[in-house]
Chain A
């Protein structure tokens, strides 16, 4: 039972930030696609902006690891 709860907690710890990252990236990605259509030279900056929310899921991963560990 306890093991199951720990696993569930770890799953939530990484799952929720993953959803949050996906949501943020969808917004940035859509805006970025629009920007690229107008100014293709900004592609590099857009790639960076799209990658920024990934920190959330990485932190979630660390927390999940700490929960299991």
Chain B
């Protein structure tokens, strides 16, 4: 239901403005509207200027919020936490309290990053040194007067080892050794051993060829290869322990502080909102003025609250809504608890206009019905019900996902009920085992009956949409639009009436009156709606036929389940058969969630809503705490 709204004006002395804003914030019922800037300077209302002190306060709060947000990025969100509530007066004190925690977290994160970096670097060097080690130790280990240089070359530069070999031969006069070894898929390692006196010339050669020597971090450079490897091994063994100790510290800080930090961020955002609210208000010489929208249901409570707190000092009064403002009235949709999850279907559309129809109650009835008709299987229904109940628990607190899970659980109950009626338990498995039989008809055998049933549902649903549209136009005093929709309804009804006569469902004598009513209503429709009227009629026929998808997708789902059982039955081994059938049934369950949901959604959005839904409303967003 779209709630009725009142426009309210709150007037009080300027020195009560801050307190008044705080009360409005806590009341959380007023959708505040900007009071437009006056056209001339002599106007009674002027915009309220933002005081310098407030600007500074806002700036400080914004900086604090940024600091806290950065801190939350450094901490891992704990599995569960509750945002602590803070009053505005506590913000600065707690910001100071958080400062040492912030420093500690930063230091721990820096340590964690440096340890991770060291681990990566050790792994890289260790790989290279291990590659060289057998060569260096076994063949060059005792050559004290020799210089040993390790190089890495990409495999794409395959000519380099040969070139180096030839050049060094020239420099050293053949007194050298070169070893080439594949290090991994990308690199080749080269170890050169030559007399120390040729070192300068060799390095000059290597730098000329742009070949980089494997340089160890400084702390290893003075060590021998074996010692370097040992040190690396020791560090590699110690780093994971140190890393997990740092992570444990961060986690314990997160458990203790995350809720407080998030609560503090919210409190800061609330304080900033309250300062920003001044921009919406206006002033006279001595008073402030705030305007907004309140649901009629809550206006009495708001007035009472202001009277209790401010007495006669602050006035809350209703304003008359001008015609030009009707389209600006924010829309607040409020439904009984059982229908509320179905409001999720409106999230894909612009909100309905104020005064038009909220389709949620209709969706709550028809969506599960269509879903149940398509799935129509006890086994699939139970599985979907269990999954949706689990998801509802899992996503508690995440409104949209939990609503989707709720819709799915209601719809799965409908699927179970239709499963009983169609006698389906994992397709024809229930019937094969003799545990269940169709109560009304078998879907795959009674194809014609299913077609007639779904078209009948289509006629009912589309006509209901048109009737809702007529009722809404009448309630808003739009007689011409209501008349056009009435003519539209009569054209469709008389056409269906004629079809019923032609297919011998009604006596032949009804044909002439049917044709006369059709002709008259057709003329009225064309007169009221123009050329689009007849086109709408054709569209409505297409809309009705579109409900056949309930039968088509439903039949496809049953056939797939039957195929799963047959494939399972083909195997001589019972377990293999169950696994094969289970896999196909599992796939069918997934499709049974997706396809019926999308098709039922489409039937609502395209076929049903197009008959009465008017989008383009503004969502009601009361000024409330975060």
Contacts and interface: CB of A to CB of B under 8 A. Distances in A.
A11 to B, nearest CB: 16
Contacts of A55: 542, 545-546
B348 interface: yes
Nearest to A51: B602
Contacts of A59: 545
Interface string A38-54: 00000111011001101
B549 A48 contact: no
Interface string B529-550: 0000000000000100110110
B230 interface: no
Interface in A13-59: 43-45, 47-48, 51-52, 54-55, 58-59
Interface residues of A, number: 15
B451 interface: yes
Given A43-B348, A65-B451, A69-B448, A48 B545 contact: no
Contact of A48 (B451, B542, B605): B605
Given A51-B602, A58-B552, A61-B552, A45 B545 contact: no
Contacts, number: 43
B447 interface: yes
A27 B197 CA distance: 73
A13 to B, nearest CB: 14
A48 B615 CA distance: 16
A45 B349 CA distance: 7
A44 B548 contact: no
Given A47-B598, A52-B606, A58 B347 contact: no
Contacts of B448: 69
Contacts of B546: 55, 58
A56 B567 CA distance: 32
A58 B348 contact: no
Contacts of A8: none
Contacts of B349: 44-45
A43 B605 CA distance: 13
Given A43-B348, A65-B451, A51 B599 contact: yes
Contact of B545 (A43, A47, A58): A58
B171 interface: no
Nearest to A42: B348
B228 interface: no
A12 interface: no
A44 B542 CA distance: 22
A59 to B, nearest CB: 6
B602 A61 contact: no
Nearest to A52: B606
The residue in A43, A58, A59 that gathers the most chain B C-beta atoms within 10 A of its C-beta is: A58
Chain A contact residues: helix, strand, loop or mixed: helix
A62 interface: yes
B548 A62 contact: yes
B389 interface: no
B601 interface: yes
Nearest to A61: B552
B552 to A, nearest CB: 6
Given A43-B348, A55-B545, A59-B545, A48 B601 contact: yes
B593 to A, nearest CB: 14
A55 B348 CA distance: 21
Contacts of B605: 44, 48
The residue in A43, A45, A51 that gathers the most chain B C-beta atoms within 10 A of its C-beta is: A51
B347 A44 contact: yes
A36 B208 CA distance: 53
Nearest to B348: A44
Interface in B581-613: 598-599, 601-602, 605-606
A58 to B, nearest CB: 5
Nearest to B349: A44
B172 to A, nearest CB: 61
Contacts of A45: 348-349
Interface in B331-389: 347-349
Interface string B508-548: 00000000000000000000000000000000001001101
B51 to A, nearest CB: 37
B601 A47 contact: yes
A20 B349 CA distance: 28
A51 B597 CA distance: 11
A49 to B, nearest CB: 10
A61 B548 contact: yes
Nearest to A46: B348
Interface string B421-465: 000000000000000000000000001100100000000000000
Nearest to A68: B447
B601 to A, nearest CB: 7
B201 to A, nearest CB: 58
A63 to B, nearest CB: 11
A45 B602 CA distance: 10
A47 B548 CA distance: 19
A52 to B, nearest CB: 7
A56 B504 CA distance: 29
Contacts of A65: 447, 451
Interface of A: 43-45, 47-48, 51-52, 54-55, 58-59, 61-62, 65, 69
11 contacts: A44-B347, A44-B348, A45-B348, A45-B349, A48-B602, A48-B606, A51-B606, A58-B548, A61-B548, A61-B552, A62-B545
Given A45-B349, A51-B606, 5 more contacts: A47-B601, A48-B602, A48-B605, A58-B545, A62-B451
**Closest 10 interchain pairs by CB?**
A44-B348, A51-B602, A48-B605, A58-B548, A55-B546, A58-B549, A61-B552, A48-B602, A51-B598, A58-B552
